[in-house]
Chain A
């Protein structure tokens, strides 16, 4: 939720409370930063190193030696470009859907909820107290072939008897949309809640109607929340493989599924590492471009 606070807490620069004592901050920082360097930065290098390894002829499964074979990246991408592109398409659609569902909800909580505001906020988060996996499994059964929705739809005269909802791209995108919804709703709420109601009144005084006020005042002022929410939804959705594994079929596999199966089923570490590295690089580039374009540089 760095986006959230970065987006909302805009004050920066030296503060009166800041002390500039020589080594205290470094003592405070050291243990945590050492942990992050050892178990986040170094593993990224380890990943990069694995990605160019090669399995020697006749060697045991899972044995690899470093040969700086950058062709691994090309091979990995060519073999998996469908899943790669699909990940970004699914994540993009899920992000747009989540924005469409969450914006009115966040708007309602911020402006129309009155004394029930805190209760509604708890209700937005509460479904996510049950396990992520259990929620997804529940969707597989609700949308499943014997589930309530499919059997009800089949009663309709114009619905085909072979109708399926699970094992479709629809199910995967729905699962992604549902599972990351709070990451969209909360930042949106945080930025809408900060809007001074007087700015909306001022727009009304200047003869803007409700819709114009919304379009010209509310939406621009909520942009930090939109940016934060879309990033917090898109990034985990693009790398997710749980929804595609449980709600999809072999033709809806995302890049996360490939990375997982390359690691565990195929024991092809270099390909898995090359794909992970490409995924991370692509997301970082997209995020940087997106933040630049939306003009909210203070996010990071």
Chain B
């Protein structure tokens, strides 16, 4: 684009032109700063020499990072969250992937009601999901605890797994499977050596999503946990008197671990595409 510059544009004129041309970039920078403020705050206060209450800056220390289990019960809560996350992820990923293959690869009666049943849990507020499960457990005289949390987490993770894996199956080129069949692979071999490896990245992504949903869930967990603590529940309960700096250490580590997983995933998929 060639624009004829007016004679001797004034400085303020040039500045306003630069501004309007870069408006969207400036906006994006501000938006990203906004997005990262609480993350930066959490990270900074993980180095606070805070003692019991981590509300005001008291001085720099590495002690919280050296001993993240220093605060009472915080590590038990994290261990519970990891165990619940892993068990729920495995069950939800298997069940959800099976449903995704049924929907993506087969024709059957009741397809639209199946889709509705998958969709509804995602369109229901968490507080309703949590309250209704608790109502059922109470009516059945079941005491909520570790396994009721797992049951609840599998329930809300299944839909997200189905949606993620289904999208991957839909994006597959059907000619790849036809080619395998043409080369005398039977249905089972085609599935094992062609279809499943191609869908695998979708399944892995779904599992990561399920784990992070489970690990971060608070509302449904709070309704169905009884006296069992999870990391989000620990933060909520201790929020009133200020959460210990060790919780900031754990939150910041989660951030960096997840970031590394995502970056590695991106690099791997880019290299696959190249080769």
Contact = CB atoms under 8 A, between A and B. Distances in A.
B27 to A, nearest CB: 5
Interface string B248-263: 1001101100110011
A63 B255 CA distance: 44
Given A133-B218, A236-B126, A280-B128, A127 B25 contact: no
A9 B167 CA distance: 8
Contacts, number: 268
A125 B216 CA distance: 14
Contacts of B96: 32
B132 A130 contact: no
Interface string B54-67: 01100000000000
Contacts of A19: 105-107
B235 A137 contact: yes
B106 A18 contact: yes
B127 A260 contact: yes
A235 B41 contact: no
A246 B239 contact: yes
B37 A142 contact: yes
Nearest to B35: A127
A130 B253 CA distance: 8
Nearest to A242: B218
Interface in B1-46: 24-25, 27-28, 31-32, 34-39, 41-42, 45
A11 to B, nearest CB: 8
Interface string A226-242: 00000100011011111
A131 B254 contact: yes
Contacts of A265: none
B38 A139 contact: yes
B99 interface: yes
Contacts of B223: 260, 263
Contacts of A239: 125-128, 219
A118 to B, nearest CB: 6
A129 B255 contact: yes
A145 to B, nearest CB: 10
A197 B243 CA distance: 49
Interface residues of B, number: 91
B102 A142 contact: no
B268 interface: no
B174 interface: yes
Contacts of A255: 127
B210 interface: no
Interface string B101-139: 110011110000011111111111111110111111011
A40 to B, nearest CB: 5
A107 B42 contact: no
Given A127-B35, A239-B125, A20 B107 contact: yes
B71 to A, nearest CB: 14
B188 to A, nearest CB: 12
A181 B24 contact: no
B76 interface: no
Interface stretch (A72-80, A155-163, A268-276): A268-276
Contacts of B138: 50, 62, 269
Interface in B173-203: 174, 177
A274 B187 CA distance: 51
B42 A1 contact: no
A294 interface: no
A33 B99 contact: yes
B221 to A, nearest CB: 11
Given A28-B98, A122-B259, A130-B255, A16 B158 contact: no
B211 to A, nearest CB: 12
A33 B136 contact: no
Interface string A1-37: 1101100010100111111110011101101110111
B212 A129 contact: yes
B251 A131 contact: yes
B152 interface: yes
A35 B243 contact: no
Given A47-B132, A130-B252, 9 more contacts: A28-B102, A29-B99, A109-B28, A137-B243, A138-B45, A142-B38, A246-B236, A246-B239, A263-B223
22 contacts: A1-B160, A2-B163, A18-B105, A28-B102, A29-B99, A31-B98, A36-B155, A39-B151, A39-B154, A40-B117, A41-B117, A104-B28, A130-B254, A131-B231, A135-B38, A138-B39, A239-B125, A239-B127, A239-B219, A246-B239, A256-B219, A263-B223
